[in-house]
Structure 1
Amino acid sequence: MAASISLTGLAACGSAEPYAAKVNGITLSKAGLDDELDAIRNNKKYLAALEQSNITVKGKGSGTFDSSFVARVLTRRIYLELIHEEFVKRKLKLKAADLTAAREQLLTSVGDPAVLDAFPKAYYNEIRRTTAEVTVLQADLANASDDNLRKYYADHQDMFQQACAAHILVEAKAEADAIEKELAKAADPKATFAEIARSKSKDPGSGAKGGDLGCASPSGYVEEFKAAVLTQKLGVIGDPVKTQFGYHIIRVDSRDPVPPFEEVKEQVQQAVTDGAQGPFNDFLNKASSKAKVEVNPRYGTYDTSGDSPQVVPPKSPSVTDGPTDAPPEAPSDAPADAPTDTTG
C-alpha cells in the first residue's frame, strides 16, 4: 500500500525541513511542491482526468496525497530544474512567441482550455515557462539556427507539400501492365480506375474508396511511391511502380507547390526539434545521473541506479507533512501527466 502524507503534522511542530529537494545547491522548496500539489488537487477536471488514467493522486487519509504521486511530481521538478540550469548556462532567452507556443502545447496536453485556465495564475505561468524552456533547449541542442532550419527545409521540401493521389495495388507486374492498358482504352479512365480499384486492389483501405488515398505529404510514402507522386504528370496514369508491397498503378490528381519557408517555419522548427529528442534525452540522462541531488526524507530518496533517475517514495508513512507523490517520467517536450514547475 502506498504511503500518504498529510498537510499538517511535523511542520506544525517545527521539525520539518523547509526543502523538498536540493539540486546542485539549488533549493526546491517544500512550499513550491505543496503549491503544485494543491493546484492539481483543486483543479477538479484535471484531477478527474488523472484518476481516469489510473494515476492515484490522493492518499488514504483526509488531506493527504499518495506518496508515489508526490515522488513523480518531485522527480519532474528536479528534471525541470536541471533543464533550467542548462538553459541559463547556454544563455538562452524566452521570447513572447515561445510562451505562446508553450500555451498551445499545454492546451494540446490537457485538451480543454477551461482545465488549463482553472490552475492558479502563478502556477500556470510557471508551467508555461518550464514548457517553453524545454522546447527552446531542445531546439538549441538540435542547433536549430535559422540557417540550419533553412537547410532542413531545402533538404525535406516534400514534407511541406500536399499531393492528392489514387492507386491500385496488385501483386504481379503482368497484372499491373494489363490494368494500365485497360485504363488507356477506357472511355472514362477515372471511373474505370475506381471500379478496378474496388474489385482488384490489394490495399483494402483505399480500394474500398476507388483507390483514393486522399491528400497528404509525399514524405509519408515509401521512396518509390513518393518519387512517382512528386514527378508524375497530373491526371495521367503512370507506368506501374514496384515497391515492397507489390505493383502500383498511380494517378496523381493534384500537387501543391512547396510553400515559402516563412509560411512553414514553425513546422520546420517542430520537425527539427522532434529530431532532437535523442540529444535532449542524452543530456537529461547524463544531467540527472551526475547531479548532486538531496531529497527531503519525508518524500523518499533519489535513486540513480536505473535508466532514469527518480525519487523513490518512502516505504512506510513515517512522515505526516506535506503533499506527496509525482509521476517519475522525464519531461520531453513538456511535463507529462501534470504540468509542473521547478522553482519553489
Structure 2
Amino acid sequence: MKRLVLFLAICTLVFPGCGELFDPAAAAVGGEKITSEEVQRGVDAFKGTEKFKQLAGQGDVEAVTRQFEQGFLATLVRRAVLQPKADELGIEVTDQDVDDQLASIKADFPNDQAYQEALEEQALDEAQLRELVSDRLLEDALRAEVTADVGPPDEELQAYYEENIDLYTFNRAQHILVKEPALARVISAELQRVPEKNIEKDFARLAKKHSTDAQNKGKGGDLGEQPGGTFVPEFEAALADLDEGEISEPVKTEFGFHIIRLISRRTAPFAEVAPEISEELAEPAKQEAFMRWLEEAYEDADVRINPRFGELDVATGQIVDATADDVPGAEAPKAPPSPTVPVDIPQPSQP
C-alpha cells in the first residue's frame, strides 16, 4: 500500500502548488477540506476539560495533546469517508434514531448528575456525544448492510450443531441444596420412597424447608429450563445421568450437597438454533469483510493528510506519526505516548 506521506512529500517537492491543498487544511477527503481551525477548536476545547488536566499531570503534555489531536482528526476523516458511502447505499441515521440511543444511554445511569459526570470524565458535551452516537449508529448500519450476505454454509452450521449438541439440550430441573451430607442422604432416601404422583409436591415442600438456595427454594427448588453448561461440572454430570422424573443421590459441589430431580429435557431442533449458530460463526468473517470494505472506502475517498498531523494508517483508520521509513529524513518514532486519551460514549460506573 502506498504511503500517503511519501506521496505528499514528493508532490510538494516536484509540484509546489500541490501544497495549496493543505493551506489551511488538516486533511482532504474526496477533495473536501477538513480545516486546521476545526481541529484546533477541538484541541482547545479538550484543553479546557478536567480530563486534559488530569492526563497532563500524569505525563507529557505535548504527547497528550498530540494524541488527542490525531484521534480527533481521525474521527472527522472517518465521518467524511463513511457519510457519502451511506448516502450511496440509502442509509440514514435520523434525529429520532440518535434521540432513542441517547435516551437508552441515559437510562443506564442512576440520575442526571451521574450522567453529566460521565460526560465530563470523557471530556464530552451533549453535542459531541450526539455526534459520536450518530457516527456509531451509521457505522453499525453500514456494517450490517455490507456484510449481510457473509456467513458460513449450511453444512458448517449443521456440523457445529451436531458437535455441540449439549449446548442445545435444555434441562428443567429442581434441587435441594444442604450443607451436611447426612441431611442430604436423609432427604434423598425420603424422596425415593415418595409415590410418583406426589413427588413434585413433596420435593417442593422439602426444598422450601431445607434448601439453602435462597434464590430458588421459594419456587420449590425449580431452576427453570437451562442449556447444557449452565451449572458447575459435578451438577451437570449428575443431571446428564438422570432420566425425566428421576432423582439423584446426593451430589457434592463447591456449594454443598444437592439432591437433583430432572423435570424435563428437550433438544432444540436445528432449524430453531441455526440463526444463533450462524451469527456466532459468521462474526469473524463479517468483521474481516467489513475491515476490507473500510479500507476500500478510505482508498476510494482519496484521503490525504497534512504531514504536519501525521499519516493515515488505512488498516486502522488512525492517524499516526510518520516514521523514518515513510519519509526520508523523518525522525525515528517516539515511544507511544502515555497515558492514552480515550474518547468514548460514556458508560455508568460499575458498583
Q: Name the TM-score, length of structure 1 as normaliser.
A: 0.50
Structure whose residues are more often helix by fraction: 2
Answer 1 or 2: higher relative contact order, Cα 8 Å, separation at least 6. Answer: 1
Q: Name the TM-score, length of structure 2 as normaliser.
A: 0.49
